[in-house]
Amino acid sequence: MNFSHLPRLAAAALAALALAGSAAATSIELLNVSYDPTREFYFEYNAAFATHWKAKTSDDVVVKQSHGGSGKQARSVIDGLRADVVTLALADDIDAIAKHARALPVDWQTRFPHNSAPYTSTIVFLVRKGNPKGIKDWADLVKPGVAIITPNPKTSGGARWNYLAAWEFAKRKLGSDEAAKAFVAKLYKNVPVLDSGARGSTTTFVQRGIGDVFLSWENEAFLAVKEFGANKFEIVVPSLSILAEPPVAVVDKVAKRKGTAEVAKAYLEYLYSPKGQDLAGKHFYRPVDPAAAAKYASQFTKVELFTIDQAFGGWSKAHQTHFADGGTFDQIYLKN
Amino acid sequence: MAASAVSSLARSAGVTARPLATRDAPWLRYTLTAVALGFLALFLVLPLVAVFAEAFRRGIGAYFAALNDPDGLHALKLTLLTAGLAVPANLVFGVAAAWCIAKFTFPGKSLLITLIDLPFAVSPVISGLIYVLLFGAQGWYGLYLNAENPWLPGLQAWLYEQDFKIIFAVPGIVLATTFVTFPFIARELIPLMQTQGNDEEYAAITLGANGWQTFWKVTLPNIKWGLFYGVILCNARAMGEFGAVSVVSGHIRGETNTLPLHVEILYNEYQFVGAFAAASILALLALVTLVLKSLVEWAHARRHAASAAS
């Protein structure tokens, strides 16, 4: 073997790879950093928005997606992931971006209607067909021998909604925060595995077949039933649940830098349009627009919903008490 | 020495009377072979078959449709690009490091050996986080970019103007992969070069070869099989790395997803045919490297035989 060609060969290979790596991009590109269960929704919505934007301005817009646990995604944006828009599971995570990276103003939530939440959702239970453990409400979750699947509240937005819904249920039923804490501690004793995001938990419950009940985003539960058939899973709606408002925001610092501020804003505004609202309903989110809400009303069971502002005085307070280092979640989970 | 003495003793004792220790009962031989083959089938062949079976579950048409997905193709391209950059980088480093360690003595040599092993010792997640801490917006690089009164304001302004993307972009993925696959080639070469010693190089130099000639004509031909094996291992790991890349990738589809990350995404989206089709491509890439290795070995053996015959 003659090795004297090696340096030249290597150089040629590198040049070829460099050429292959640089694809020509002429259209506008947005990056939407989102949480786990929105994959299917934004896949369809992005195509609809591209059509809309092309008709309006004749510009091509390509929206790239990144999905993961909401808290983890916020962490990535803080660490420099260049999201033009974030569409996360809860306001707390966007607050963190505003606070730690100063990438958008702290009053970001006032910039779009309905607290910047174009669709809402709630937390329901997904159980195996026939509901063998007879799970009807939150109180059934703390029974011995019930294995609960829920993601980690430190990294997943959905998991924080789960946690707070359970807490509020217990507080109303048992009367005090102390009792609620004991209830939630007992509930987490029944959790065999904490995944980092909602989709990981869905996979654990649905594909790996672990657990008796999965505390799930309503839309994620519907999707699992749709993908795997109603002959395998059932949705159980508890007596009380939380109104989950997954908010959206333009990340000003990135959008300004990339010159995409205008299209990023239009992208989020279009979520409130009839088309955007219809797609949200189609993917099992609860639309905020009354017309779309009425159209999809029949697919959702009526459930008493409370808001985080009523029960916990807003996200920043709830975060401090429950999910910050040393908060109630750390206290109960470390004790387990 | 001892081994040859023993074997000559055994030979002198007669061919028919082999020592008891090397005469195994047939049942033992067959059982051991069956256990080894069974283990291989269970842990290597069966998963591989499962990947392809899942990938083709909905027919060949669905398989190729799944492969023809732009995000998947981009992931494949990115994986090849990453390996194409990380492997040569480690090739140069690995040969240089092995050369230093095997042929010279210098202070800090054992420290260098330990450092080379570091990427084997730390978890890939940590390997990824290192780069987030260095190059993230909240890391050293980010702090420098956002500093009010930085050292060298000109450099800060220039870096800001250039707008380099390191993590959550291709450079970060290449860096993390290079870090994780760092030891493969060096670790393969060090023992080999140590056993070979310096005699042939000394001979070459006495005969008037310069350093460069010695390297190309003496050292490299001696180590080429070890080097080749190291490159194959390094390449396999570079294409398959998940943990470290997952931390620095940002998971942007069609942009910073490598094939292993793409497989996870598809699996999580209930696109099983797509996920296993992508996994089958990864498996095929691995098989191709193995075939390449066998081909080169075959060519080498043939040339060897030809030169021996003439």
Residue A195's SS3 state is coil
Q: With contacts defined as CB-CB under 8 Å, which chain B residues touch A156? A: none
pLDDT value at position A27? 81
Is the minimum CB–CB distance between B199 and chain A shorter than 8 Å?
Answer: no
Is the minimum CB–CB distance between B213 and chain A shorter than 8 Å?
Answer: no
Confidence of residue B103 (pLDDT cuts 50, 70, 90): confident
* pLDDT at A9 exceeding the cut of 70: no
Is the minimum CB–CB distance between B103 and chain A shorter than 8 Å?
Answer: no
Both tokens assigned to A271: 């979520």
Is the minimum CB–CB distance between B276 and chain A shorter than 8 Å?
Answer: no
Within a 10 A sphere around the Cβ of B63, how many other Cβ atoms?
Answer: 19
pLDDT value at position B143? 86
* pLDDT at B293 exceeding the cut of 80: no
How many separate domains does chain A show?
2
Residue A219's SS3 state is helix
A301 Cβ neighbours under 8 A, 6+ residues apart:
A235, A237
pLDDT value at position B7? 47
Q: Which domain holds residue A249?
A: 28-120+245-299
Is the minimum CB–CB distance between A20 and chain B shorter than 8 Å?
Answer: yes
Distance of CA A96 to the CA centre of its chain: 15
User: Among A247, A285, A240, which residue's Cα sits nearest to residue A85?
Assistant: A247
A9 assigned to some structural domain: no
Contact A81 B168 (CB under 8 A): yes
Q: Min CA distance, A75 vs chain B (Å)?
A: 10
Tens-digit pLDDT profile for residues B149-158:
888 888 888 8
Average pLDDT of the residues in A149-154: 93
The residues that bridge with A213 in the sheet, in sequence order, are A127, A148
* pLDDT at A16 exceeding the cut of 60: no
Cβ atoms of A92 and A99 closer than 8 Å: no
- By mean pLDDT, which of A66-75, A203-212, B6-15, B157-166 is the weakest? B6-15
User: Among B39, B45, B53, which residue's Cα sits nearest to residue B279?
Assistant: B53
Q: Min CA distance, A7 vs chain B (Å)?
A: 10
CA-nearest residue to A226 within chain B is B270
Residue A128's SS3 state is strand
A133 and A239 fall within a common domain = yes
* pLDDT at B18 exceeding the cut of 70: no
Q: What are phi and psi of B99, to 5 degrees?
A: -60, -50
Confidence of residue A69 (pLDDT cuts 50, 70, 90): confident
More confident position, B161 or A285:
A285
ipTM (interface pTM): 0.77
A36 and A101 fall within a common domain = yes
Q: Which of A17, A31, A64 sits opposite B85 (nearest CB)?
A: A17
Q: Please give the full DSSP string across A135-166, using - where no structure is assigned.
A: --SGGGGGSTT--EE---TTT-HHHHHHHHHH
A3 assigned to some structural domain: no
Contact A21 B170 (CB under 8 A): yes
- How confident is the prediction for chain B on average, in pLDDT? 86
Q: Min CA distance, B106 vs chain A (Å)?
A: 28
A13 assigned to some structural domain: no
CATH number at residue A103: 3.40.190.10
CA B37 vs CA B31, B50, B52: distances in Å: 10, 18, 21
Is the minimum CB–CB distance between A13 and chain B shorter than 8 Å?
Answer: yes
Q: Which of A13, A17, A31 sits opposite B252 (nearest CB)?
A: A31
Is the minimum CB–CB distance between A25 and chain B shorter than 8 Å?
Answer: no
- By mean pLDDT, which of B111-120, B233-242, B292-301 is the weakest? B292-301
pLDDT value at position B271? 85
Q: With contacts defined as CB-CB under 8 Å, which chain B residues touch A1? A: 221, 224, 300
Is the minimum CB–CB distance between A227 and chain B shorter than 8 Å?
Answer: yes
The C-alpha atoms of residue B286 and residue B289 are separated, in whole angstroms, by 5
A322 and A185 fall within a common domain = yes
**Hey, what amino acid is at B122?**
V
If residue A10 lies in a helix (H) or strand (E), which one and from where to where? helix A6-21
A23 assigned to some structural domain: no
A-B CB pairs within 8 A amount to 77
pLDDT value at position A106? 93
A189 and A64 fall within a common domain = no
Average pLDDT of the residues in A175-201: 92
* pLDDT at B99 exceeding the cut of 50: yes
Contact B77 A21 (CB under 8 A): yes
A310 and A169 fall within a common domain = yes
A68 and A177 fall within a common domain = no
* pLDDT at A20 exceeding the cut of 50: no
Which residue's structure tokens are 């839309």? A219
- Residue ranges per structural domain of chain B: 26-55, 59-123+169-309
> Percent of chain A having pLDDT more than 70?
92
Average pLDDT of the residues in B118-145: 90
Contact B137 A39 (CB under 8 A): no
Q: Min CA distance, A62 vs chain B (Å)?
A: 11
* pLDDT at A23 exceeding the cut of 50: no
A210 assigned to some structural domain: yes
pLDDT value at position A335? 60
Tens-digit pLDDT profile for residues A207-264:
889 999 999 999 999 999 988 878 899 999 999 999 999 999 999 999 999 999 999 9
Contact A79 B165 (CB under 8 A): no
**Hey, what amino acid is at A317?**
K
pLDDT value at position B296? 73
Cβ atoms of A138 and A215 closer than 8 Å: no
Is the minimum CB–CB distance between A199 and chain B shorter than 8 Å?
Answer: yes
Average pLDDT of the residues in A51-55: 94
Q: With contacts defined as CB-CB under 8 Å, which chain A residues touch B132? A: 79
* pLDDT at A292 exceeding the cut of 90: yes
The C-alpha atoms of residue A80 and residue A101 are separated, in whole angstroms, by 9
Average pLDDT of the residues in A300-318: 91
A214 and A330 fall within a common domain = yes
Q: With contacts defined as CB-CB under 8 Å, which chain B residues touch A14? A: 84-85, 88
pLDDT value at position B21? 64
SS3 readout for chain B: CHHHHHHHHHHHCCCCCCCHHHCCCHHHHHHHHHHHHHHHHHHHHHHHHHHHHHHCCCHHHHHHHHHCCHHHHHHHHHHHHHHHHHHHHHHHHHHHHHHHHHHCCCCCHHHHHHHHHHHHHCCHHHHHHHHHHHHCCCCHHHHHHHCCCCCCHHHHHHHHHHCCCCCCCHHHHHHHHHHHHCHHHHHHHHHHHHHHCCHHHHHHHHCCCCHHHHHHHHHHHHHHHHHHHHHHHHHHHHHHCCHHHHHHHCCECCCCCCHHHHHHHHHHCCCHHHHHHHHHHHHHHHHHHHHHHHHHHHHHHHHHHHHHHC
Confidence of residue A285 (pLDDT cuts 50, 70, 90): very high
Q: With contacts defined as CB-CB under 8 Å, which chain A residues touch B135? A: 80
Contact A80 B220 (CB under 8 A): no
Confidence of residue A318 (pLDDT cuts 50, 70, 90): very high
- Paired sense of beta strands A28-35 and A85-87, if any: parallel
Within a 10 A sphere around the Cβ of A316, how many other Cβ atoms?
Answer: 16
Confidence of residue B1 (pLDDT cuts 50, 70, 90): very low
Confidence of residue B295 (pLDDT cuts 50, 70, 90): confident
Contact B265 A203 (CB under 8 A): no
Is the minimum CB–CB distance between A4 and chain B shorter than 8 Å?
Answer: yes
pLDDT value at position A5? 55
> Percent of chain A having pLDDT more than 90?
77
Both tokens assigned to A285: 């989110």
User: Among A146, A117, A119, A187, which residue's Cα sits nearest to residue A329?
Assistant: A187
Q: Is the alpha carbon torsion for A221, A224, A229, A234 positive or negative?
A: negative
More confident position, B259 or A1:
B259
A181 assigned to some structural domain: yes
pLDDT value at position B233? 87
Q: With contacts defined as CB-CB under 8 Å, which chain A residues touch B88? A: 10, 13-14
DSSP code for A251: -
A225 and A256 fall within a common domain = no
Tens-digit pLDDT profile for residues B35-67:
999 999 998 889 889 989 988 988 888 888 888
CATH class label, B59-123+169-309: mainly alpha
CA-nearest residue to B225 within chain A is A1
The C-alpha atoms of residue B171 and residue A169 are separated, in whole angstroms, by 48
Q: With contacts defined as CB-CB under 8 Å, which chain A residues touch B167? A: 79-80
pLDDT value at position B2? 43
pLDDT value at position B4? 45
Q: Give the A window 178-197 contacts with B, CB below 8 Å.
A: none
Q: What are phi and psi of A125, to 5 degrees?
A: -105, 135
Q: A129-137 — which CB contacts under 8 Å span 24+ positions?
A: A129/A231, A129/A232, A129/A233, A129/A234, A130/A234, A131/A234, A131/A236, A132/A212, A133/A212, A133/A213, A135/A212, A135/A213, A135/A236, A136/A236, A136/A238, A137/A169, A137/A238, A137/A239
